Amino acid sequence: MSSATILPPKRLASPVPRRSRRSRGSIPGILTVVALAASACSDSSPADEWAIVRDTLPSGVERVTNTPPPQTAPTWTLVEEVRVGTVEADRPESFGQIKGLVGFEGGGFAVLESQSLEIRVFAADGSHLATHGQRGEGPGEFIGANGLMLGPSGRIWVPDSYAARMSVLDPADGFVESFPFTSYVRGWVWTGAMTAGGRILKHSSSTMRVFDSTMTELSSLSLPPRAENAGDEDPSIFLVESATGWEVRAVPFYPGGSTTFDPSGAMWSAAVGDPSHRVHKWMPGGDTLLVVETQRPPLPVTAAERDSVIAEVRAWFRERGVEADADWSRIPDAKPAVLGLVTSAEGNLWVRTSSPGGGITYDVLAPDGAYLGSTAPAPLETVFWLSPVIRGDHYWTVVFDELDVPYVVRAKITHVE
């Protein structure tokens, strides 16, 4: 093993300004270039106190270990600025089910409203600017669109595997063109990604399909094999037989793993079943680039939390007419350190972590694995099927209110003084 190297922590990088075309018609300035707020790039940060050590594992993979000081404090807070949604029907802000979300430089955003199969575009202040598309088979229409991606030029890419095509829309002017595209794994929501260079990556079984900007398939890259468990042998689930067949319930607090792409096309992943704050960075079809370990102490599952989730699972059993009890020893004693992964447009990795007081919290890592800072708990419980969008000093996510009405929330990433 090589000797360890202690490095100073890096700052949260500002996005590189790029020239974007000016929107026409009724959407002026929707893609305005902005830099990350100065408050998020302060010269002093709690990250200054962290030890960042780099060494090499016997396998030859570089390991980065981020170790906090005895006392830590959040670096940033997520301050809600705009909330778009309504209980009123037949309005652009009335959402039934959102399956796609992209955020523009400057604060505007677009959503895929999957019940109406419309792409709705909103300004930075939350006002509605345009609606594109509808259910149908013609140009700019959709049969089963299930996601959105934002291309390097600022256009919106809409995968529709049921129509076997990928449509491209201008936020202001609507439909531009479409390309034939066949997806072997359709899925409820789109799990592909757009790289900064305009390549499109899409999971397909044990491979990663790579497409260019005309949806011409360039290659198919191998992915690492995943461990498979079956039935009751799978420690992550409770499997029960009800009157309607076999049903599955996730074991509370079991580490479910997570993956995300960064703008370069590299993939970050946290392994299923691993409760530690450990993530891997690797290139599809290539070797592991980094292993990053952040030495936060585990957060225990309290007795009250354990009793509460057991009661919930028992109630779920009763609803299905199942009388047998479960093996409650499957519930871990500690909460998973990694609850989810998402990369910002600038390439930083946001690791959602367990918080003792509830709310959404993140540790933010640089592309090279160095700890940059963390966020204070925020009351923004994100829907599980749609990752937040992070660009510059903006954070967009989809939330539900107490009536299960969906809203798009944009928060500002603000430095904690």
Residue 330 has pLDDT above 90, yes or no: yes
Question: Mean pLDDT score of the chain, rounded to an integer?
Answer: 86
The single-letter DSSP state of residue 313 is H
Could you count the other beta carbons within 10 Å of the beta carbon of residue 42? 16
Could you count the other beta carbons within 10 Å of the beta carbon of residue 379? 11
- CATH superfamily, domain 5-415, is TolB, C-terminal domain (2.120.10.30)
Rg, the chain, Cα only: 22
Residue with tokens 């990433």: 413
CB 292 within 8 A of CB 262: no
Higher pLDDT, 46 or 348: 348
CB 203 within 8 A of CB 185: yes
- Give the three-class secondary structure for 317: helix
CA distance 198 to 200: 6
Size of the chain in residues:
417
Digit-coded pLDDT (tens) for 66-75: 999 988 899 9
Digit-coded pLDDT (tens) for 72-111: 899 999 999 999 999 998 999 999 999 999 999 999 999 9
Instruction: Write down the domain spans for the chain.
Output: 5-415
Digit-coded pLDDT (tens) for 24-44: 333 433 333 333 333 343 344
Residue 323 has pLDDT above 50, yes or no: yes
CA-CA-CA-CA torsion for 153, 154, 156, 159, nearest 10 degrees?
Answer: 40
CA distance 411 to 384: 18
CA distance 283 to 318: 45
